[in-house]
Amino acid sequence: MNKDIWVYIEQIEGKIANVSLELLGEAYRLKEQMQEPGKVVAVIIGSELDQLIPTLEEYGAEKIYVADDKRLKLYESQHYATIFQKLIEKEDPHILLVGATAIGTQLAPTIAGKVKTGVAAHSVELKIDQNDQLVAVVPAFGGKVLGDILCPNRRPQMASIKPGILDKPEKKKVETEIIKVDLNFLNQVKTNLKPLNLQREEPKGVPLEEADIVVCGGWGIGDKETWHYLEQIAEKLGGAVACTRPPVDEGWAAGEHLMIGTSGKSVRPKIYLGFGISGATHHVCGMKDAGLIISVNKDENAEIFKVSDYGIVGDVKKILPLLAEAVK
């Protein structure tokens, strides 16, 4: 039986997504737990990919499937998923890992549907059991509990993981086999979508996943005026603004892309500053690995204090204006 672990290597305009390299490292960790391990295999799709192959070799891909065609320059789910379908039907991999990005969140279930397997979406942990089966740990019931998901009867076993949950691996030079994928079937792939162009949106400030300092606000912020102080503090500290669900629902925060937790992003900043956050499990699981956690809440019994290195009991409406003035 093939025990290979495949990783989808997401790339946009010639840049490999960090989560893809994180998953290569995770694939090696899973391989080490297996009784009969296979190879760590990278699958990369796009156009003009030759310059990316050395990076995958440096991070330990033992085999690389390269689907390189100008028609694949822009992501289109049916084309990408059909390429995976053809490869999976031929090679029968044991496991397939996908980053839970905007692209991966759409691609993973599309692949799963084509090859009739399951996918454990937005997993927070992966492990191998005594039978070499993949065990994906996934939040359930709004993040209040964690459940194990297995797929014992179908292959590949699939899981997606959000960026930032895993550490970026060290470079691991190995002997690599490179296989060019035959794409003659692409003209027969039916799709109702036709990518026209790629519109770039320049991000403001530091990307949340890359920030050394994260300034996060919750329901306790209370209003948009107080929220502006949070943004000022993040800007002056060279950090990124983040939030829980309520600030998005209330219209204080710019959008869901700022959310941390099971329904948002996972971060590992050097410093996490939390204001008016209760500490619900579905938020904590997205920030608990920060280097230093400092929290402010007027409720001395708030759950957030249990995971904080420093806790301040106080009213954020009074503290934030003073802090914003202090960091000017």
Domain boundary assignment for the chain: 5-188, 208-326
pLDDT higher than 80, residue 193: no
Question: Rounded mean pLDDT of 108-127?
Answer: 93
Interval 293-303 mean pLDDT: 94
Tokens standing for residue 200: 């770039």
CB contact set of 39 (below 8 Å; sequence gap of 6+): 4, 5, 62, 63
Separation CA 222–CA 224 (nearest Å) = 7
Name the one residue in this structure whose structure tokens are 């691609």. 107
Gap between the Cα atoms of 106 and 92, Å rounded:
22
Kindly report the average pLDDT of the chain as a whole number.
Answer: 89
pLDDT in tens, 37-86: 899 999 999 999 999 999 999 998 999 999 999 888 888 889 999 999 99
Does residue 265 have a pLDDT over 90? no
C-alpha–C-alpha distance, residues 99 and 169, integer Å: 15
Confidence at 202, pLDDT banded by 50, 70, 90: low
Grade residue 298 by pLDDT with cuts at 50, 70 and 90.
very high
The pLDDT, as a whole number, for residue 115 is 94
**Model confidence over 9-23: pLDDT tens digits?**
999 888 999 899 999
User: What 3-state class would DSSP assign to 238?
Assistant: coil
- pLDDT mean over 145-152: 84
pLDDT value of residue 143: 60
Confidence (pLDDT) at 210: 83
Q: Is the pLDDT of residue 203 over 70?
A: no
The whole-number average pLDDT for the span 258-264 is 83
Here the contacts of 286-294 (C-beta below 8 Å, separation 24 or greater) are 286/260, 286/261, 286/262, 287/214, 287/216, 287/260, 287/261, 290/214
Tokens read off for 26:
């995770």
Topology of the domain comprising 208-326:
Rossmann fold (3.40.50)
**Exposed (0-12), middle (13-18) or buried (19+): which is 77, by Cβ within 10 Å?**
middle
Architecture of domain 5-188: 3-Layer(aba) Sandwich (3.40)
Distance of alpha carbon 7 from alpha carbon 14, whole angstroms: 17
Is there a common fold for 5-188 and 208-326? yes
Indicate if the pLDDT at residue 178 is higher than 90: yes
